[in-house]
Amino acid sequence: MSGRVLVGVKRVIDYAVKIRVKPDNSGVVTDGVKHSMNPFCEIAVEEAVKLKEKKFIKEVVAVSCGPQQAQETIRTALAMGADRGIHVEVTGKDYDTLGPLQVSKIFAALAKKEDAQLLILGKQAIDDDCNQTGQMTAALLDWPQGTFASEVSLEGDKIKVVREIDGGLETIKINTPAVLTADLRLNTPRYATLPNIMKAKKKKIAQVKPADLGVDITSRLEVLRVDEPPQRLAGVTVETVDDLVAKLKESGTI
Amino acid sequence: MALRGALWRLLLDPHRRAVVSACRAQGTAAAARCDNEKVASKSKTQKVQFNWRDGLDLEGLLTEEEIMIRDSFRTYCQEKLMPRILMANRNEVFDREIVSEMGEMGVLGPTIKGYGCAGTSYVAYGLIAREVESVDSGYRSVMSVQSSLVMHPINAYGTEEQKQKYLPKLARGEILGCFGLTEPNHGSDPSGMETRAKYNPSSRTYSVTGSKTWITNSPVADVAVVWAKCDDGKVRGFILERGMKGLTTPKIEGKFSLRASATGMIVMDEVEVPEENLLPNVSGLAGPFGCLNNARYGIAWGALGAAEFCFHAARQYTLDRIQFGVPLARNQLMQKKMADMLTEITIGLQACVQLGRLIDAKRAAPEMISMLKRNSCGKALDIARQARDMLGGNGISDEYHIIRHVMNLEAVNTYEGTHDIHALILGRAITGLQSFTVGK
């Protein structure tokens, strides 16, 4: 086993920013808006770095797909303890239409190229909430997947994953190589300390293009329109259950 | 890192996000230096939005590393320091753990190279000070003392043995230091100090006697860098350690400023200090002044951090509070005050960045630091007072935090050289005539 873990990190609009839709309804405003690493990707990086500190794996490689600014996100991962980065350059219109299917093709190609033992991703991104990339990548690679992981332990050449599912917690044991996606309670990401931020400057970030990996990133999806959610209307207070039923019948809901 | 409590609520609240399937537009202003050419050609059609949070694009003057340092430390300050400060200030409690936490973050002595320190730029040091002080000036005082007034003199004036012995532990926050220069009878004129260090050749020690006052950290410090006059009349620095016979550090009670930091005296009654603890590479007041200039630079940034907090808090309050049917912010008197705050903070920060770059390039003169320490502190105190007024009755409640900054900034304006003393430093530089003393 190579002892190498790939971690996917995505640059998204910061969670604290108030999202605004562009006047032409083609998307959301990103110019001049604060961006940061997707919170679930932070958890993924933290898990990978923890595994390295416990000596289960040897190298953590942070990967991000996007324009030049994606390197900031990779640098944050390096400051948290990743060893090196790979920036897959996707710009302009291609970046606008980049989605889970293309990203998973890229990750699958990289996982093979880097002879990765593990691929850890965040369970979903907070901008599109797709929750697809991990699953698709596992399918493309024909690797087992441990998604919504809230606990991960390596046992020999197998991985025990406790998954958060609707009914509670599910524990599975899967073979390596595998894909894991991180859920909220997997760990608490560390603050990037100053010495580590300084060290991150010296770590290498390799640049590749999707074409170099033999991946076609044309999208099969077209965004027609983006709207804000409708304004919440004031509610109506009712006195009894009968009133409630009557009102629901009135509005045609039942 | 952007997680923990707040994220829970945001992730569970679907109304925060616009309905979107798969779309991202490219480019942000933040670190798009490489995209500048593209932006410049687009700017004919794109209007530049004024950002009241960053009036003159300070962000664009920072390196990627400085932005990362600032962002990471800001998250720590907001998540770990902000929740503590209300009670710490109200009950006058100093949380010693914050020193160890800051040590872990690597922000103590950040500009020092080696010895477990980060070795960052002075601009990064300024950004760090600004983030801490936007929470509390007392916390920033603790950080400044440790970094500029204890670690810096040991690094700049100490022996290799002293550096190895003290710097790594100070950097980790394992030990806490304090700086003893000011005396009860000698504040603005340190050259008149009465603390004496008498050399004993037989024991190879210095016998130090005297008292220092208004010493941040002293009641709980493990080491003290004390400045005393030697037999030859020259001022020199000594490293004293808690436990040395004759050394006591009583706390100063009844403080209404910097309550979240412990302040006290250093009382020395014939303390025998081994000669290895002398800082050999400086004599005269150049020693303490070198340290003070280092700290004053951090304060120039920090004070504006406190001012920013007050400005933002007053803005939010006046937007939320409705009187006579409209938000307070609708009133001209309120807007004028905020315009003044915005202007001073923006201009002040631009000056601080320039000063930081000059220090990094070793092209800075002490008067520059005096000018900006004086400007930042004076303006910040003014801004805090105005902001307090804008909050009306609520402005005197510590729940709204502004009154705490008002109290703190009184001390910040005074220590490390009062507003007036820095004016005299500048006056001397401008005219060539000194006006500190009544003589010629």
pLDDT reading at B116 higher than 90 = yes
Residues A111-152: pLDDT tens digits? 999 999 999 999 999 999 999 999 999 999 999 999 999 999
Q: A105-109, A161-165, B46-50, B83-87: which has the minimum mean pLDDT? A: B46-50
Residue % of chain A over a pLDDT of 70:
100
**Contact criterion met (CB below 8 Å) for B428 and B396:** no
- For A:114-143, CB contacts with B below 8 A are 126-130
Residue with tokens 């979240």: B260
Beta-carbon-side half-sphere exposure of residue A133 (alpha carbons within 13 Å): 31
Whether residue A32 lies within 8 A of chain B, CB to CB, comes out as yes
Asked if B28 contacts A238 with a C-beta cutoff of 8 angstroms, the reply is no
What is the value of ipTM here, to two decimals? 0.81
- Reported as a pLDDT band with limits 50, 70 and 90, residue B49 is confident
Name the residue facing A128 among B20, B107, B118 (closest C-beta). B20
| Distance separating alpha carbons of residues A57 and A49, to the nearest angstrom | 9
- Given B4, B23, B28, which is nearest A27 (Cβ)? B23
* H/E element, B132: helix B122-133
Whether the per-residue pLDDT at B325 is higher than 80: the answer is yes
Provide the annotated active-site residues of B.
416
Sort out which chain B residues have CB atoms less than 8 A from A192's CB and list them: 1, 68, 72
pLDDT at B19: 37
Whether A227 contacts chain B with CB within 8 A: yes
* Per-residue pLDDT at A124: 97
Residues of chain A in contact with residue B110, where contact means CB-CB under 8 angstroms, are: 194
Percent of chain B at pLDDT > 90 equals 87
Distance (Å, rounded) from C-alpha B140 to C-alpha B146? Answer: 10
Cis check: omega of the bond before A177, within 30 degrees of 0: yes
CA dihedral B143, A192, B156, B221 (to 10 degrees): 30
pLDDT at B47 (0 to 100): 80
Alpha-carbon gap: B419 to the closest alpha carbon of chain A (Å): 33
- B29: pLDDT strictly greater than 90: no
- Residue B326 CA to residue B323 CA, distance in Å, equals 6
Residue (of B220, B224, B189) closest to B208 by Cα position: B224
Q: Are A124 and A130 in contact (CB under 8 A)?
A: yes
Chain B residues whose CB is inside 8 A of the A69 CB are: 27-28, 30-32
CB < 8 Å to A78, chain B: none
Say how far apart CA A198 and CA B105 lie, in whole Å: 12
**Rounded to 5°, angle at Cα B159 from B156 and B162:** 100
Tokens at residue B345, please? 């903070």
Question: Which domains does chain A show, CATH number per domain?
Answer: 4-251 (3.40.50.620)
Tell me how far apart the alpha carbons of residues B209 and B349 are, in angstroms, rounded to a whole number: 42
Give CA separation, B376 vs B64, B283, B341, B350, B429, in Å: 25, 30, 12, 11, 19
Nearest to B229 by CA among B245, B259, B209: B209
Q: Does A202 touch chain B (CB under 8 A)?
A: no
Helix intervals (H) in A54-153: 70-80, 92-96, 100-113, 133-141
Taking alpha carbons only, the member of B20, B41, B38 closest to residue B28 is B38
A61-117 tens-digit pLDDT = 999 999 999 999 999 999 999 999 999 999 998 999 999 999 999 999 999 999 999
For the segment B232-274, what is each residue's pLDDT rounded down to a tens digit?
999 999 999 999 999 999 999 999 999 999 999 999 999 999 9
* Closest B-chain CA to A80: B1
CA distances from A106 to A63, A101, A190, B244 (A): 10, 9, 28, 65
Contact predicate B245/B207, CB 8 Å: no
Query: How far away is chain B from the Cα of A156, in angstroms, using its nearest Cα?
Result: 32
Q: Looking at chain A, which residue has its C-alpha nearest residue B104?
A: A193
Q: Does the beta-carbon distance from A43 to B3 stay under 8 Å?
A: yes
Beta carbons of B16 and A76 less than 8 Å apart: no
**Per the CB < 8 Å rule, is B76 touching A22?**
no
Residue A254's pLDDT is what? Answer: 82
Nearest to B1 among A127, A189, A198 (CB): A189
Strands A178-182 and A11-13: unpaired
For the stretch B88-106, pLDDT in tens is 999 999 999 999 999 999 9
One-letter amino acid of B62 = L
Separation between Cα atoms, residue B82 and residue B334, nearest integer Å: 27
- Decide the pairing of beta strands A158-165 and A145-155: antiparallel
Residues of B in contact with A34 (CB under 8 A): 28, 30
**Average pLDDT for A204-233:** 93
- Strand runs labelled E in B117-201: 117-118, 177-180, 196-200
Q: Which of B23, B46, B79, B115 would you mutate first to test chain A, the one with the most A CBs within 10 A?
A: B23
Is B353 a residue whose pLDDT tops 70?
yes
Residues of B in contact with A68 (CB under 8 A): 32, 34-35
User: Quick one: pLDDT at residue A2?
Assistant: 72
pLDDT band at residue B45 using 50, 70 and 90 as cut-offs: low
Structure confidence by residue, pLDDT tens digits, B164-216: 999 999 999 999 999 999 999 999 999 999 999 999 999 999 999 999 999 99
pLDDT, tens digit, for every residue of B368-409?
A: 999 999 999 999 999 999 999 999 999 999 999 999 999 999
Q: Which chain B residues touch A79 with a CB distance below 8 Å?
A: 68, 72
| Interface touch B17/A192, C-beta < 8 Å | no
Long-range contacts of A227-231 (CB under 8 A, 24+ apart): A227/A21, A227/A25, A227/B18, A227/B19, A228/A21, A228/B18, A228/B19, A229/B14, A229/B15, A229/B18, A229/B19
Distance from B124 to chain A by nearest Cα, in Å?
10
Cβ of B18 within 8 Å of Cβ of A21? The answer is yes
Of B202, B206, B190, the closest CA to residue B239 belongs to B206
The phi and psi torsions of B202 (rounded to 5 degrees) equal: -70, -45
Cβ contact (<8 Å) for B17 and A68?
no
Task: Note whether B19 contacts A197, CB cutoff 8 Å.
Answer: no
B38 to chain A, closest Cα gap in Å: 12
Which residues contact residue B6 at a Cβ distance below 8 angstroms, ignoring those fewer than 6 apart? A15, A16
pLDDT surpasses 80 at B43? no
**pLDDT on residue A156:** 86
